[in-house]
């Protein structure tokens, strides 16, 4: 498990960004703030609560840069 302030290896993944699925690399965001949000599966207890909370705070997070 990765801990706060622990460095991790670069990785590639598919991300939903600006209404599209695109390939990104962790290194694309070097020197920038990045939120990675993972959840176990759709229709689990995590899906509605944490995703809704993240969506509700999106504009505030975006203002932080």
34 carries an active-site annotation: no
Which residues are CB-neighbours of 30 under 8 A, at least 6 positions away?
none
Question: Which is catalytic among the residues 15, 36, 47, 54?
Answer: 47
Q: Is 11 exposed, middle or buried (0-12, 13-18, 19+ CB in 10 A)?
A: exposed
Task: Cite the active site residues.
Answer: 47
């Amino acid at each position: 498990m990765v801990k706060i302030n622990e460095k991790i290896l670069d990785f590639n993944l598919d991300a939903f960004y600006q209404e599209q699925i695109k390939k990104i690399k962790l290194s694309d965001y070097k020197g920038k703030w990045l939120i990675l949000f993972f959840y176990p599966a759709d229709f689990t207890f995590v899906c509605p609560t944490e995703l809704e909370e993240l969506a509700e705070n999106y504009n505030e997070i975006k203002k932080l840069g």
